[in-house]
Structure 1
Amino acid sequence: MASNPAQPLLELHGIRKQFAGVTVLDDISLRLYPGEIHALMGQNGAGKSTLIKVLTGVLANDGGRMQLEGREIRPATPLQAQRLGISTVYQEVNLCPNLSVAENVFAGRYPRRGAAQGWRIDWAEVHRRAAQLLGRIGLQIDVTRLLSSYPVAVQQMVAIARALGVQAKVLILDEPTSSLDDDEVQKLFEVLRRLRAEGLAIVFVTHFLNQVYAVSNRITVLRNGRCVGEWPAAELGPAALIAAMLGRELAEQASQPAALPAFDARQAPLLQAEGLGQAGQLLPIDLQVRAGEVLGLAGLLGAGRTETARLLFGLATPDRGMLRIDGQAVSFADPSDAIRHGLALCPEERKTDGIVAELSVRENIVLALQARRGMRRTLSAADQAAMAERFVQMLGIKTASIEIPIGLLSGGNQQKAMIARWLATEPRLLILDEPTRGIDVAAKQEIMEHILRLAQAGMAVVFISSEISEVVRVAHRIVVLRDRRKVGELPGGSSEGQVLEMIAAQAA
């Protein structure tokens, strides 16, 4: 890897940002050198996205200063940042699929010719320069074809070519590999190494540990809006990186599980996945869960936990492997098939994928059951009220009335109502994706106690949480994921440190 020159190309000093009086960036500093790939790491909420928005002119910083090539800059818009030489390629390719590759590369800044002709677009020059830019990153394609005719990996390269077309000095890549398979990732890395050799400074944001060590020169870690530190990649091992991101040493983790309800581990699995996977989303995974068992899925952000849940519940279609219920192969065309087989899923994004904020608590609780019954078998108002009241009592949902909009409830009570919605369908297996996110400590405790009671009553539970301490507390077995693949299993009673050590193992 390239050695750093004496002077940074880009420097951030003491960057601060507040929203409604809440500090989200606090004294952030960053140095970026020409000819390096600099990984920006941190968990959700660490401040990575906000920092990128400040750097690219989407947001104005409330304190601190930024310098590019020794001169202070303060871009007020992304266009100003681009003119300074700072370009960004986001996780979701923000190009126009209905335009050609060349049009996407030069949209808004087409080469023109001929004042007498009204400065018409010089299409021959557009095509020539687009092909030249793509050739710079080793991509030889027909630039006159529609962008939509090419796969996501090629579209990502086109986005990079567009960024380079504004004479970028700094290239920011925000989760560029999230939709790519392993071969496509390696091709992207070849491009990044080529650009690094040309002297470009690259900020690389990712959640995949192995990718950090594959291409990065240095690593900066953010946590809770603050800068934890900056290290040469060769001097910060995976275990130390995870400890920096989480704020504690692996050896310090000795979280003990709760008193788990007993279940018969000798019984046949209720659900079994055999080599289940989806290209670009999840490498083939084997797992099984039995009645009365809580199976924990543990891993850092981007490990593949939610992708696993989506495949199990029919929200995504596997392109390999097999799913069995009670030993019989099944295939879910959509979630309604999963529900008919006794599965239920509380999704990760409660506000966008869970609650219907304008509907009442009652209406939200009966929603899934009514959908399963169909419009010809509607639940009476009395039955709906009785069911809602029963779950309000059972789960301790704090609400003045079952008729008030659920959007007025606290996050913890909204989450309990989502669990009630699926319990109303009487599932055999309940998948809980981040059921404790964004709620207070007391509500977290209550929800985890309810999970153990459900298991004791014979329900199978798949429990997903980014808080590994929660997983080890309630899980009979723990499936450990990293970089969209299963890396191992641990028995109930394992410590948080053991989980983190398995995540860190062989990541470098």
Structure 2
Amino acid sequence: MAVLRLEQVSKHFGAIHALNSVSMTVEQGEVIGLMGDNGAGKSTLVKIIAGNFRPSHGQIFIKDREVSFHKPVEARENGIEIVYQDLALCDNLTAAVNVFLGRELTRNIGPFKILDYRGMNEAAGKLFKELKSETRPRDLVRQMSGGQRQAVAIARTRLSSADIVLMDEPTAAISVRQVEEVLNLIRELKRQGVAVILISHRMPDVFAVADRIVVLRRGTKVADKRAADSSPQEITGLITGAIELA
């Protein structure tokens, strides 16, 4: 059973057709590389899945149950988490506090509730261990590498035991070593049975982790095929229009 299925999803902003009848499925533990040029519709599609936009037409199914999201919290309640390109982290707070941001653990001291830093540190440490990350719960985010920051953002998605994680350009503007850290995090999510939709312009990164590659061009899906059956040259041709369909 697919954890996510889109059927003929379209999105119009007035006269602008950002998406045109896009259909796709995502299986449990599958990594989908979502590729396309700027303006191809990738971010619009992900924002529809994440509950930021409602589709103009089409249907969304979670495990064969039709859903209609009016806001992101409804997508989260249905097992969908998103890691935005800017990560939405607070540099002046620790890794653990960032993991629990908005969902802080508390404990009672008499009639008062205070933040349970020890509990958050312990829980975040377990999440980082599960992700096989060397990120430390008590370290400040501003002192972290790009790869460690991604680990914090991904650990936050594991709090709710998400079935689907959407990742927007996670390997942009970080070093080669940090890129490998992030790709290993994606592999670990896959190993745990979490489906990942990866938006990226970096062809080697997509081919390193993706099971399937979906290509959008001007809001239309022009390819949906196994990564093993394609090549960077073919995907480049599909993105640019040198190849019409695959």
Give the TM-score normalised by structure 1: 0.46
Residue 162 in structure 1 maps to residue 160 in structure 2: no
Q: How many Å apart are 1:93 and its aligned residue?
A: 2.2
Cα distance in 2 for residues equivalent to 1:203 and 1:174: 9
Q: How many Å apart are 1:119 and its aligned residue?
A: 4.1
Residue 104 in structure 1 maps to residue 122 in structure 2: no
Residue 184 in structure 1 maps to residue 170 in structure 2: no
Q: Deviations over 1:147-182 (max 9, x none)?
A: 112122211111111122221110111100002111
Residue 48 in structure 1 maps to residue 11 in structure 2: no
- Kindly tell me: are residues 65 and 116 of structure 1, through their superposed partners in 2, closer, same or farther at Cα, counting changes over 3 Å? farther
**Are the equivalent residues in 2 in contact too, given 1:131–1:140 (CA < 8 A)?**
no
Cα distance in 1 for residues equivalent to 2:105 and 2:162: 18
Q: How many Å apart are 1:225 and its aligned residue?
A: 0.5
Match for 1:157: what amino acid? Answer: A
**Are the equivalent residues in 1 in contact too, given 2:135–2:151 (CA < 8 A)?**
no
Partner of 2:213: 219
2:169 to 149, 166, 175: 175
**Are the equivalent residues in 2 in contact too, given 1:8–1:31 (CA < 8 A)?**
yes
Q: Deviations over 1:204-250 (max 9, x none)?
A: 11111111211110011111001112101111122221222122249
**Are the equivalent residues in 2 in contact too, given 1:57–1:81 (CA < 8 A)?**
yes
Q: Deviations over 1:435-488 (max 9, x none)?
A: xxxxxxxxxxxxxxxxxxxxxxxxxxxxxxxxxxxxxxxxxxxxxxxxxxxxxx
**Are the equivalent residues in 1 in contact too, given 2:21–2:58 (CA < 8 A)?**
yes
Partner of 2:200: 206
Q: Which has the higher contact order (CA 8 A, sep 6+)?
A: 2
Aligned length: 244
Cα distance in 1 for residues equivalent to 2:134 and 2:147: 13
Farther off after superposition, 75-84 or 14-23: 75-84
- Kindly tell me: are residues 117 and 238 of structure 1, through their superposed partners in 2, closer, same or farther at Cα, counting changes over 3 Å? same
Q: How many Å apart are 1:105 and its aligned residue?
A: 0.3
Q: How many Å apart are 1:123 and its aligned residue?
A: 2.1
1:66 to 60, 74, 93: 60
3-state SS of paired residue (1:213)? helix
Partner of 1:128: 122
Partner of 1:79: 73
Partner of 1:196: 190
Cα distance in 1 for residues equivalent to 2:70 and 2:132: 33
Partner of 2:16: 22
Cα distance in 2 for residues equivalent to 1:148 and 1:237: 38
Q: How many Å apart are 1:100 and its aligned residue?
A: 1.2
Name the structure where strand makes up a greater proportion of residues.
2
Q: How many Å apart are 1:21 and its aligned residue?
A: 2.6
- Kindly tell me: are residues 139 and 239 of structure 1, through their superposed partners in 2, closer, same or farther at Cα, counting changes over 3 Å? closer
**Are the equivalent residues in 1 in contact too, given 2:135–2:148 (CA < 8 A)?**
no
Match for 2:49: what amino acid? Answer: L
Partner of 2:242: 248
**Are the equivalent residues in 1 in contact too, given 2:146–2:178 (CA < 8 A)?**
no
Match for 1:205: what amino acid? Answer: I
Cα distance in 1 for residues equivalent to 2:134 and 2:167: 22
Match for 2:173: what amino acid? Answer: S
- 5+ unaligned residues in a row in structure 2: which ranges? none
Match for 1:113: what amino acid? Answer: R
Cα distance in 2 for residues equivalent to 1:162 and 1:135: 13
Give the TM-score normalised by structure 2: 0.94
Cα distance in 1 for residues equivalent to 2:3 and 2:169: 22
- Kindly tell me: are residues 213 and 121 of structure 1, through their superposed partners in 2, closer, same or farther at Cα, counting changes over 3 Å? same
Cα distance in 2 for residues equivalent to 1:76 and 1:115: 38
Cα distance in 1 for residues equivalent to 2:189 and 2:165: 10
3-state SS of paired residue (1:24)? strand
Identity of aligned residues (%): 32
Cα distance in 2 for residues equivalent to 1:62 and 1:116: 52
**Are the equivalent residues in 2 in contact too, given 1:38–1:204 (CA < 8 A)?**
yes
Partner of 1:383: none
Q: How many Å apart are 1:40 and its aligned residue?
A: 0.4
